[in-house]
């Protein structure tokens, strides 16, 4: 009985195989999340535009110092925008504080293209924000229920002990910096950095953002007053909410960048149809 031997490299060929990567529930909730987050970000900037300052503690009136603020003023008769973080002031004319509206410089915290609605309307911005916030929460609950019942979290998102070793994590960091992405069968699965990122967002960032959002509601505070104690008041909850939203935007930017750099059409196809193309070697025929 002859022992099986691999064909030499010269007699092997590479072939592309379509394999299943994402379940229907994962794909649907992913795109619903994308829509909700886009509307929440733009309507959230509309709300922040009404009072573009962030405070810490129980109070946040005009007399209290803000840790972050977006303001406008004049220099040599020209409008100027600037952002202040702590004691550091940064010029932001054209983006924050002062931007063009119909060709004219207008004092507003954020430019029209970044807000929903594009004109200043705090009431309408709140309606958009609250509706899509609840849609986002319900969509997240569907994803959580599916992940627990199907084993998606345990199978796809839980990192192994080997993946959590410093050596393995450092190796993946180096590969990402050099834009060397997994190939073949390894490309079907999340790597350790992806798993840790998704766990941090799903298990930490998103719940914190939802809870701080609820804390800013007087009605919720009346029913659940302990939320004010947990976050140290509505101004602090508002600041934490903004920080969480900013970190989520950073996560999305990095996520989209990795999608584009690792193969945009293949990644989009996997999140639309569930099918992902991998390259594998096989013997020449």
DSSP-assigned beta bridge partners for residue 120: none
For the entire predicted model, the pTM comes to 0.81
Q: Cα 136–139–111 angle (5° rounding)? A: 25
- pLDDT tens per residue, range 85-131: 888 888 888 888 888 777 778 888 888 889 998 888 899 999 999 99
Res. 284: pLDDT tops 60: no
pLDDT band at 57 (very low <50, low <70, confident <90, very high): confident
Residue 99 and residue 112 in contact, taking contact as beta carbons nearer than 8 Å: yes
Domains of the chain: 9-52+114-283 (1.20.950.20), 58-109 (no CATH)
- Work out whether the CA dihedral 232, 236, 241, 247 comes out positive or negative: negative
Query: In the prediction, which pLDDT does 132 show?
Result: 94
Number of H helices, E strands in the chain: 10, 8
Res. 250: pLDDT tops 50: yes
Q: Residues 6 or more apart from 188 whose CB is under 8 A from it?
A: 19, 21, 276, 278
* Count of C-beta atoms within a 10 Å radius of residue 168: 16
Whose CA is closest to 205, among 255, 267, 260?
A: 255
Res. 3: pLDDT tops 50: no
Residue 83 and residue 93 in contact, taking contact as beta carbons nearer than 8 Å: no
Mean of all residue pLDDT scores within the chain: 83
The residue length of the chain stands at 285
Encode burial over 87-104: b for 16+ CB neighbours within 10 A, e otherwise: eeeeebbeebbbbeeeee
Q: What is the dihedral of CA 215, 135, 34, 174, to 10 degrees?
A: 50
- Between 201 and 281, the higher pLDDT residue: 201
Whose CA is closest to 119, among 40, 53, 43?
A: 43
Res. 270: pLDDT tops 50: yes
Res. 18: pLDDT tops 70: no
Encode burial over 212-223: b for 16+ CB neighbours within 10 A, e otherwise: bbbbbeeeebee
d(CA 21, CA 145): 19
């Amino acid at each position: 009985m002859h022992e099986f031997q691999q064909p030499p490299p010269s007699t092997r060929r590479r072939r592309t195989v379509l394999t299943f990567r994402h379940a229907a529930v994962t794909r649907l909730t992913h795109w619903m999340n994308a829509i909700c987050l886009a509307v929440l970000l733009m309507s959230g900037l509309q709300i922040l535009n009404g009072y573009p300052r962030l405070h810490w503690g129980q109070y946040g009136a005009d007399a209290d110092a803000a840790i972050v603020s977006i303001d406008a003023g004049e220099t040599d008769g020209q409008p100027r925008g600037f952002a202040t973080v702590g004691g550091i002031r940064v010029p932001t004319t054209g983006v924050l504080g002062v931007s063009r509206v119909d060709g004219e410089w207008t004092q507003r915290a954020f430019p029209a293209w970044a807000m929903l609605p594009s004109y200043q309307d705090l009431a309408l911005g709140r309606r958009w924000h609250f509706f899509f916030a609840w849609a986002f929460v319900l969509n997240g609950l569907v994803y959580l229920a599916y992940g627990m019942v199907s084993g998606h979290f345990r199978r796809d998102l839980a990192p192994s002990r080997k993946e959590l070793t410093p050596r393995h994590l450092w190796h993946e960091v180096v590969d990402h910096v050099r834009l060397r992405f997994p190939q073949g069968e390894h490309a079907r699965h999340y790597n350790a950095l992806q798993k840790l990122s998704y766990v941090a967002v799903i298990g930490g960032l998103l719940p914190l953002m939802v809870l701080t959002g609820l804390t800013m509601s007087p009605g919720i505070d009346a029913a659940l007053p302990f939320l004010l104690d947990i976050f140290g008041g509505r101004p602090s909850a508002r600041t934490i909410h903004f920080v969480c939203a900013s970190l989520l935007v950073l996560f999305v930017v990095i996520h989209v960048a990795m999608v584009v750099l690792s193969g945009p059409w293949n990644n989009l196809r996997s999140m639309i149809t569930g099918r992902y193309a991998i390259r594998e070697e096989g013997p020449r025929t």
